[in-house]
Amino acid sequence: MRYFIAVAEVGSLHVAAEKRLNTAQPSLSRQMRDLEAELGCSLMTRSSRGIELTTAGRVFLDHARVILAQVDAAGEAARRAAAPPRAEFVLGFLTGHEFDWLPGVMTILREEIPEAEVTVLSRSSPDLAAGLMRGKIDLALLRPEPNTPGVVFETLNSEPLVVLMPADHRLAIRPTVRPRDLGAERRIGVPAARSPVLRAVTDGYAKKVGVDLAPDYEVDNLSMAISLVVSTGGIALMPLYARNLLPPTVVSRPLEGEPPLIDVTLGYRRDTPHLQLAAIVARVKQLRAGAR
């Protein structure tokens, strides 16, 4: 599975063998043929231009990534169980949320675990979920990501999606944006494979209001979305926290009517080695309650 993922990601048996796997290309080719024979279907097509996945190959790739993440998580869990408690604490934030939450959460951590060395990470939600699952992150503010066994998600709040657009866009003069106006614009969105929660919320809203919101451009993160808004003159539906990261050339406007909502959750592992984590989680939830 690891070899297959490497080949799929680089699109070349030669590059995967030489740059990623440190193995001989004939051996790698043989293992790919053996994998296809075991599964009873073709996973990839080979040509002078490189490797392209078949429909079966794309499906297998999604499952293989999840399975290997779970295998890695199992190994990390076993090592954590055998090791003494760590004197460090890793805190993760969905990029942009640290502006609102970091000061309060850091106060709680200093009071609850003053002896611990705290590391703060700013990542995408899927990356944070993978870090939690593997035991690399102790607590994170993120989306309730699917396929993360062993991880608990507790909802902190729900934030609306807003419309990002260039400051000189024709819709920027309005206090709110009508859903029907979005269909005629260039749309920047996220791929379902990279941001499944945000894409599901956006697609659900599109179906509800009867507007085609399929993205013309797909981006992996908010920074890329903002850059494309500027460079293409298009619009993007993004969570409210995106306002924390906007340059002067990009503005946000609320949607007219009932906007789609996306959850912000507190994520942690069920088998965490930190005895103080329950108290920390309880206090962070109180912090949110007090902020309202």
pLDDT 10s digits, 37-71: 999 999 998 877 788 889 998 888 888 887 887 78
Read off the pLDDT of residues 130-155 as tens digits, 9 standing for 90 and up.
Answer: 999 988 999 999 999 988 988 999 99
So what's the pLDDT on residue 289? 47
Do 109 and 131 belong to one domain? yes
Q: What is the CATH number of the domain that holds 175?
A: 3.40.190.290
Do 74 and 47 belong to one domain? yes
Do 155 and 208 belong to one domain? yes
The three-point CA angle 48-51-55 to 5° equals 135
So what's the pLDDT on residue 189? 94
Burial of 19 (0-12, 13-18, 19+ CB in 10 A): exposed
Do 244 and 207 belong to one domain? yes
* Domain end residue (candidates: 35, 51, 80): 80
Do 157 and 219 belong to one domain? yes
Q: Residue 81 belongs to what H/E stretch? A: helix 55-82
Domain range for 9 is 2-80
Mean of all residue pLDDT scores within the chain: 89
Do 213 and 140 belong to one domain? yes
List Cβ<8 Å contacts ≥24 apart for 46-51.
Answer: 46/13, 50/11, 50/12, 51/7, 51/8, 51/11, 51/12, 51/13
Read off the pLDDT of residues 208-266 as tens digits, 9 standing for 90 and up.
Answer: 999 999 999 999 888 899 999 999 999 999 999 898 889 999 999 999 999 999 999 99
Residue type, 282: A
* Domain end residue (candidates: 51, 80, 109): 80
pTM of the model: 0.67
